[in-house]
Amino acid sequence: MHVQISLLECPAVSSLTMEIVERKGLGHPDTICDALAEACSRSLSNYYLDNFGLILHHNVDKALLCGGQSLASFGGGEMTAPIEIYLAGRATELVGGVEVPVHEIAIESSHRWLAENLRFVDINRQVRIHCNIRPGSVELTKLFLSQHQAEIAIANDTSCGVGYAPLNTLENLVLQVERYLNSHAVKVAFPAIGEDIKVMGVRRDNTINLTVACAIVDRFINDMSDYLEIKQKVAELTQLAAKMAGVESVNVVVNAADNIADKSIYLTVTGTSAENGDDGEVGRGNRANGLITFYRPMSMEALAGKNAVSHIGKLYNVLAQNIAHDIVNSVDGVLEVYCYLLGQIGQPIDQPAVSDLKLRLASGVILSEVKKPVEAILNHHLATVNTLWQTIIRGAVSLF
């Protein structure tokens, strides 16, 4: 294992004259695909544990959402064609002659997530789930099973995970705005605010502009006046969320594509753009920290749906974040951390081929002073990575 600890020499993103950050919210079609893939993986993992005492080989990290068709209208419209969701990947279907109900598990977990998170989607009439999960390859299944003869899981891919800490002002702002607009309290007070909320933040020097795309639910809107009123309320709630995130001044635009004169507005039957032609796919949305950060290092890995035991495309992205946060919070003088972990297929997951930590230090702090505690934190996380799956399948780790 090669460990490199060096100075982070690029300028801090917050010191740049321009920065862009995006978050695709709960009801965005890409986020829906991530959520359904991960729900499937967690349900399969728990079924394997309950029935066979171990998590068996699976990677159900492929999902495609084909948007439906709808006719939204003031006072309530209707869906005219359902949302079609295709689940794909690989999973162990036969164990010692015992058949695993993979398709039933995948469809049930999808229905459960949709029912719990999208208030106005009728899962029986407005959604069709197609499960195309197939058995895994013989080679990867054997590699997966070999972990149970070893003390540590064996990586079943060659992949690099990346994480950084801490979030800066714009990153935290974008994250908190979407979470607040999709919070239970806001939905109870303003049920017309749908779950499909995308926030794009741009900082130019010290000026922050937020563009919020927010699906409005038609059954609560009687006319254009009502629509404009709820749109203004979304802007006010965004300003409030910004203040709660410690940002006093932001410029907010809600539903920028609206053309009031032509009555072209973001009105929906279900609260998600998935109802009318907007499509989604696993891995096209938020990274492991819940954001799309164009000025930061990002992995192209789709975390959702990968097995949490040995797929380092999932594990190392979560682990890299945990390591970066732990170092920033625990080691005096370290202001910022970028963490890169490269794993190699067939090798123990606690022995990445490369661990590259880049540190931004406070004035007067030298690298040699912090190397030892930084490496100790790295080693601690690697030593306990074999139990990280337990936290993930409980749903205690946010992956998107």
Cis, peptide link before residue 166, omega less than 30° from 0: yes
Model pLDDT, residue 148: 59
Are residues 179 and 163 part of one domain? no
Are residues 348 and 381 part of one domain? yes
CB 67 within 8 A of CB 150: no
d(CA 141, CA 138): 5
Are residues 339 and 298 part of one domain? yes
Strand locations in 205-333 (E) = 207-217, 251-254, 267-268, 280-281, 292-293
361 within a domain of the structure (yes/no): yes
152 within a domain of the structure (yes/no): no
Count CB neighbours of 256 within 10 A.
Answer: 10
Are residues 118 and 216 part of one domain? no
pLDDT (tens digit, 9 = 90+) per residue, 154-198?
A: 998 999 999 999 999 999 999 999 999 999 999 999 999 999 999
Model pLDDT, residue 332: 97
- Taken as a whole, the chain contains a residue count of 400
Model pLDDT, residue 160: 96
CA atoms within 13 A on the CB side of 158: 5
Model pLDDT, residue 154: 92
Are residues 246 and 178 part of one domain? yes
Are residues 44 and 120 part of one domain? yes
CB 121 within 8 A of CB 127: yes
360 within a domain of the structure (yes/no): yes
Model pLDDT, residue 136: 76
Mean pLDDT by 10 residues, the chain (400 residues): 94 97 98 98 97 94 97 97 98 92 98 98 97 78 59 91 98 98 98 98 98 98 98 98 97 97 96 95 97 96 95 97 98 98 96 98 97 98 96 94
Model pLDDT, residue 63: 97
Expressed as residue numbers, the domain containing 58 is 29-138
Give the count of domains, the chain.
3
CATH number at residue 193: 3.30.300.340
399 within a domain of the structure (yes/no): no
pTM of full prediction above 0.85? yes
CATH number at residue 373: 3.30.300.280
pLDDT (tens digit, 9 = 90+) per residue, 217-247?
A: 999 999 999 999 999 999 999 999 999 999 9
153 within a domain of the structure (yes/no): no
